[in-house]
Amino acid sequence: MGRGRSRVRVKSVITFWERATALPCFGEQEGRHLVLGGHPMLMVGTDLVEVERSLGCGELACPGCGGVLGPWGHARSRSCRGVEGPVRHRPRRARCGSCGRTHVLLAQVWLLRRADAAAVIGAALEARATGAGHRPIAAALGRPVSTVRGWLRRFSTLAQDVRVFFTRLLYALDPAAAALVPRAGVVGDAVEAIGRAAGAGVLRLGPAPPWEFAARASAGGLLAPLAGRSGRGVVSNTS
Ligand SMILES: [Zn+2]
């Protein structure tokens, strides 16, 4: 029956997603093993009910050992800035039944150590890719100039790794994808690769806004500090 096949297909797509997002070429990080505030991070979707259901049903795997994660309270509350304005959220926490480690479940709306939503930071990166400077971008987004300058500087140092990572992800998702069109500069190339991979992700994995796709695929590490890219990728707590 179609139902059984579709269940198998969904499982294989989820497995594929896990493999695709574990591509080891994004800088030196092993994205799914990043640690935030002493707790390994696991990126999850934005549907809280679905996350809760997955957690309750034992469908989430420990990023450390692959064991089954179960509910384990919440991380501390955070003040963040979404596309629509300030947001306060409190990520779920899970504990592995095998290794006993706890993990913070970070929704793909956010990036590690950044108070602004991935979509906001992504809009800045898109503007940069078209040649805009940090001041007009900051004015357009209503964010401090220094904050936007920090995003752009960080991204430009990582852009080559990001381009390679998302180009590989694009062809992993769609082996028949047309060649990427070179843009002006490595930041433009990286943003182009993210957009194309996100488009392929929609077709292969289901709908997701492009910068949420990028956040999830990079395990929240699109702008992760260099300190989080060595060894096991331990980073300090978020602000
Ligand atoms: Zn574990």
Tens digits of residue pLDDT in 114-142: 999 999 999 999 999 999 999 999 999 99
Residue 98 C-alpha to ligand 1 middle, in angstroms? Answer: 5
CA 33 – ligand 1 centroid, Å: 11
Confidence of residue 37 (pLDDT cuts 50, 70, 90): very low
For the chain, which residues make up each domain, given as ranges? 29-107, 113-232
Percent of the chain with pLDDT over 90: 57
**More confident position, 193 or 38:** 193
SS (H, E, C) the chain: CHHHHHHHHHHHHHHHHHHHCCCCCCCCCCHHHCEECCEEEEEECCCHHHHHHHHHCCCCECCCCCCEEEEEEECCCEEEECCCCEEEECCEEEEECCCCCEEEEEECCCCCCCCECHHHHHHHHHHHHCCCCHHHHHHHHCCCHHHHHHHHHHHHHHHHHHHHHHHHHHHHHCCCCCCCCCCCCHHHHHHHHHHHHHHHHHHHHCCCCHHHHHHHHCCCCCCCCHHHHCCCCEECCCC
Sequence-distant (6+) residues with CB within 8 A of 196 are 166, 170, 177, 180
CA of 42 to the centre of ligand 1 (A): 12
Q: With 70 as the cut, is the pLDDT of residue 182 above it?
A: yes
Report which of 86, 87, 36, 81 is spatially closest to residue 63, judged by C-alpha positions.
36
The protein residues having their C-beta less than 5 angstroms from ligand 1 (an ion) are: 62, 64-65, 67, 96, 98-99
Global confidence as pTM: 0.78
Least trusted range by pLDDT, from 97-111, 190-204, 225-239: 225-239
